[in-house]
Amino acid sequence: MAATALMTVEDFVHLETADNEAYELVDGELSPLASSNLEHCIIRRRIEILTNGHLERSSSGGVVAEFDCITDNGIVRRPDVSVFLGSRWTKLDRKSVPAPYPPDIAAEILSPSEHAQTVNRKVREYLANGSQEVWILDPDLREIQVRTKPGIRLLQPEDTLETPLLPGFSVKVSDLFAD
Prediction pTM value: 0.87
Work out whether strand 75-77 and strand 152-155 pair parallel, antiparallel, or are unpaired.
Answer: unpaired
Q: Which range marks the domain in which residue 141 is found?
A: 36-176
Distance, CA of 161 to CA of 146 (rounded, Å)? 9
Measure Cα distances from 86 to 64, 90, 101, 121 in Å.
14, 7, 14, 26
In a domain, 150, yes or no: yes
- Please check the confidence at residue 13 and state whether its pLDDT lies above 90: no
Distance, CA of 77 to CA of 150 (rounded, Å)? 22
Work out the average pLDDT over 14-38: 67
Q: How many domains does the chain have?
A: 1
Share the mean pLDDT of the chain.
88
- Please check the confidence at residue 91 and state whether its pLDDT lies above 80: yes
- The pLDDT score that the predictor gives to residue 17 is 54
**CATH number of the CATH domain containing 69:** 3.90.1570.10
> Contact 70/100 with Cβ under 8 angstroms?
yes
- Please check the confidence at residue 2 and state whether its pLDDT lies above 60: no
pLDDT band at 18 (very low <50, low <70, confident <90, very high): low
